[in-house]
Amino acid sequence: MSFSRCALLWARLPAGRQAGHRAAICSALRPHFGPFPGLLGQVSVLATASSSASGGSKIPNTSLFVPLTVKPQGPSADGDVGAELTRPLDKSEWRQGVVCIFSFCVSTARLFHQAFISFRNYIMQSHSLDVDIHIVLNDICFGAAHVDDLFPFFLRHAKQIFPVLDCKDDLRKISDLRIPPNWYPDARAVQRKIIFHSGPTNSGKTYHAIQKYFSAKSGVYCGPLKLLAHEIFEKSNAAGVPCDLVTGEERVTVQPDGKQSSHVSCTVEMCSVTTPYEVAVIDEIQMIRDPARGWAWTRALLGLCAEEVHLCGEPAAIDLVTELMYTTGEEVEVREYKRLTPISVLDHALESLDNLRPGDCIVCFSKNDIYSVSRQIEIRGLESAVIYGSLPPGTKLAQAKKFNDPNDPCKILVATDAIGMGLNLSIRRIIFYSLIKPSINEKGEKELEPITTSQALQIAGRAGRFSSQFKEGEVTTMNHEDLSLLKEILKRPVDPITAAGLHPTAEQIEMFAYHLPDTTLSNLIDIFVDFSQVDGQYFVCNMDDFKFSAELIQHIPLSLRVRYIFCTAPINKKQPFVCSSLLQFARQYSRNEPLTFAWLRRYIKWPLLPPKNIKDLMDLEAVHDVLDLYLWLSYRFMDMFPDGSLIRDLQKELDGIIQAGVHNITKLIKVSETHKLLNLEGFPSVSQSRLSGTLKSQARRTRGTKALGSKATEPPSPNAGELSLASRLVQQGLLTPDMLKQLEKEWMTQQTERSKERTESGTHPKGTRRKKKEPDSD
């Protein structure tokens, strides 16, 4: 009996017998491929539902499993043994038979479909098959075996192309993240005292925790920013308490013999969970909910070996911390603090930059707004300091010092929300230029949303700080339309934090790679996150940045541990030069070629010139980030990045160049204006009412568009669309309402003067209008 004949008989089997065979097949396949829809899956779905009801594991996302290639077998040196024992198989005879036998499964689970296609191609394209499968196929053709007898060989092939099918239970155990406290046995061996210092910004909560840190025999401070770690490092040594500094890019020991001090100030990611301390301080504990960095606060909270652990942060984190500490058997003592100085929300908006006063800080959420506002302030004869996130720490401190100096003519600060942490600023009034801030959702997509209550309180709280010259703070907005929204945001209660972040360790990823040796690191991360099991108090942090770096250097031959370390290096993936530098560093490392000081100087084309425009300034900031990357890697691979001290000196020199550029930022903005944004002579006549109406209706959309960081496009031609040129320029973010009003005043003045001149010379108005159509008339 031919193979295709056998397949036809299968299709004609009574429904009951087919169901029995399919149920048996389904039972065999379900542990590997999961539930199947349709007729085949009727039994499987019920079985899976029963498993889930009894506490079974979640079904994995099979779209993450990338099939491996299994090459068909070529001619065997020993000949075709199967053909010698039976007969040669006529592939053209049973090609259709294979399709018919498996046709009832093809439309089922994705993995099954891919495995079947691969299995069929393997059989069809192999010159000679293994003896066992050859004999089974021959027996099926002669009716001596049933088609079900092929399934063991099919499963064997499926496990070859999908290794995850053979080790799912092991992978689930490795990625079980349900009891994080057990990861830190040293901390569990200590009966810790947990003290939560709760209060708003400028309430003295961190001050009281730091005093305990100073008075302890040994201690560790864990801060969210390098600036804060530097600040505590300096304060501790100034107070006579020897303290070392540890950040991702820097290690400073103060003891003459190079030994470690009893106190250390570090960024939270760098804290040691094996070193015993008397006192530990974890600052900004509410960041335990951060989608990308929350794992570092969870690790510090659960893992620090300290007799006393002092937490500083928002009241919204109290309940979660209490629940987490309940699982470790530790009680939480809460100490509440009130704000030391009053702060009030004004009933009027700023409306115009003409109303600025000394001590004002305008908070923007994009660089475009920073540049625009700085330029307008300079036009008014005022001097401003500028602070935004991508500036080097030294430049931020220099700008803060300039703003705080009562003898400096700079009395205005233009900044992003980077001022929310890490800088001591003497601010009288916070002015929100916009309340719309771009954010990244769980899917990695950009969204434009109003700032949260927590963000608004953090920023607004910078006004009227206790240690500043202003003992009372004020908060308002640039535009009147935003003022009511700001009041509403500030009145809302802060949502309680419900979960803490977790992150797979290098050891866990290595164990995954042991079971899946041919899987890329990026795919390993995806599978790990999908297999991971967490309880309701935790979540797995967003690892998009890690995966971005993994895919960037995937083609470079590196060991898994080295590759993992490169992927954890903090880089700004929006900076092409920084990304290409990570790639170049990894390539040099893979060649076993040390990255020396001389090599890096050539790579960044040192010496660098002072910036002549904004683009030059941004390029210098990117080079500074590249030097940061080198320093970060130099502490992980000292032999391959040997010149850390020389690079640090180079970075300080670059910091000085950037400081000079930021000091003259308004001049850089002027140079960057390569063409006139408005032709004043050809500006169309627009009534004041229409202008004001356009500004009011588009102000928020304009700021929202600019907050995305989108590039300004060339203004459209005068005939495009029905909106006026002024309206289009405002909508595209090339002009702000204040600039437009100023230009309108100047244009009206010039028009009045020209009208007088024409009256005196006797020129007819109509002739003038005809001339204005000529490009060179003015």
Taking residues 317-346, report their average pLDDT. Answer: 95
Say if 525 falls within a structural domain: no
Q: 4 with 94: CB under 8 angstroms?
A: yes
Per-residue pLDDT at 677 exceeds 90: no
Per-residue pLDDT at 705 exceeds 60: no
For residue range 590-638, list pLDDT tens digits in order.
999 999 999 999 999 999 999 999 999 999 999 999 999 999 999 999 9
Burial, 15: exposed, middle or buried (Cβ in 10 Å; 0-12, 13-18, 19+)?
A: exposed
Q: Are strands 446-450 and 436-440 parallel, antiparallel or unpaired?
A: antiparallel
b/e code 592-617 from CB counts within 10 Å (16+ = b) = eeebbbeebeebbeeebeebebbebb
Cβ contacts of 498 within 8 Å, gap of 6 or more: 289, 320, 536, 537
- Rounded to the nearest integer, the mean pLDDT of the chain is 80
Say if 262 falls within a structural domain: yes
Cβ contacts of 197 within 8 Å, gap of 6 or more: 205, 206, 208, 209, 310, 311, 312, 313, 335, 337
For residue range 720-768, list pLDDT tens digits in order.
344 566 666 655 555 666 667 777 777 777 777 666 665 555 544 344 3
Phi, psi of 500 (to 5 degrees): -110, 145
What pLDDT score does 644 carry? 95
Q: 420 with 413: CB under 8 angstroms?
A: no
Q: Where are the alpha helices (DSSP H) in 193-336?
A: 205-215, 226-238, 294-303, 318-328
Q: 305 with 187: CB under 8 angstroms?
A: yes
What's the helix, strand, coil split of the chain in %, to 5? 50, 10, 35
Query: Residue 342 corresponds to which tokens in the numbers above?
Result: 């009053």
Indicate if 293 and 368 belong to the same structural domain: no
Q: Count the Cβ atoms, other than its own, within 10 Å of residue 702.
A: 21
Say if 72 falls within a structural domain: yes
Q: Which is higher by pLDDT, 557 or 83?
A: 557
Task: From 300, 315, 336, give the residue that closes a domain.
Answer: 336
For residue range 385-437, list pLDDT tens digits in order.
999 999 999 999 999 999 999 999 999 999 999 898 878 899 999 999 999 98
Indicate if 487 and 371 belong to the same structural domain: yes
Say if 361 falls within a structural domain: yes
Query: Residue 681 corresponds to which tokens in the numbers above?
Result: 């002579």
Where is average pLDDT lowest: 74-83, 129-138, 282-291? 74-83
Indicate if 192 and 317 belong to the same structural domain: yes
Per-residue pLDDT at 45 exceeds 60: no
User: For residue 427, what is the DSSP state?
Assistant: B
Per-residue pLDDT at 65 exceeds 90: no
For residue 18, the SS3 value is helix
Work out how many domains the chain is built from and give that number.
3
* Number of alpha helices (DSSP H) and beta strands (DSSP E) in the chain: 31, 18
Indicate if 358 and 330 belong to the same structural domain: no
For residue 335, the SS3 value is strand
Indicate if 149 and 295 belong to the same structural domain: no
pTM for this entry: 0.76
Indicate if 197 and 291 belong to the same structural domain: yes
User: For residue 74, what is the DSSP state?
Assistant: -
Indicate if 184 and 327 belong to the same structural domain: yes
Indicate if 347 and 371 belong to the same structural domain: yes
Q: Sorting pLDDT into bands at 50, 70 and 90, what band is 350?
A: very high
Whichever domain contains 364, its CATH number is: 3.40.50.300
Say if 426 falls within a structural domain: yes
Where is average pLDDT lowest: 162-166, 320-324, 376-380, 680-684? 680-684
Q: If you search the block for the tokens 């000394």, which residue do you land on? A: 358
Query: Residue 525 corresponds to which tokens in the numbers above?
Result: 């991360």
What pLDDT score does 706 carry? 37
**Cα 499 to Cα 286: distance, rounded to the nearest angstrom:** 10
Q: Which long-range contacts (CB under 8 A, 24 or more apart) does 129-132 make?
A: 129/73, 129/82, 129/89, 130/73, 130/82, 131/81, 131/82, 131/85
Q: Which domain holds residue 76?
A: 62-165
Indicate if 284 and 364 belong to the same structural domain: no
Task: From 165, 192, 219, give the residue that closes a domain.
Answer: 165
Selection from 402, 462, 454, 392 nearest residue 427 by Cα? 462
Q: 410 with 387: CB under 8 angstroms?
A: no
Q: Sorting pLDDT into bands at 50, 70 and 90, what band is 769?
A: very low
Indicate if 347 and 487 belong to the same structural domain: yes
Query: Residue 11 corresponds to which tokens in the numbers above?
Result: 């299709």
Q: Sorting pLDDT into bands at 50, 70 and 90, what band is 778?
A: very low
Say if 591 falls within a structural domain: no
Q: If you search the block for the tokens 């009208």, which residue do you land on? A: 755
What pLDDT score does 426 carry? 93
Indicate if 68 and 95 belong to the same structural domain: yes
Q: Sorting pLDDT into bands at 50, 70 and 90, what band is 332?
A: very high
Task: From 165, 192, 208, give the residue that closes a domain.
Answer: 165
Say if 447 falls within a structural domain: yes
Say if 289 falls within a structural domain: yes
Indicate if 271 and 146 belong to the same structural domain: no
Whichever domain contains 77, its CATH number is: 1.10.1740.140
What pLDDT score does 576 carry? 94
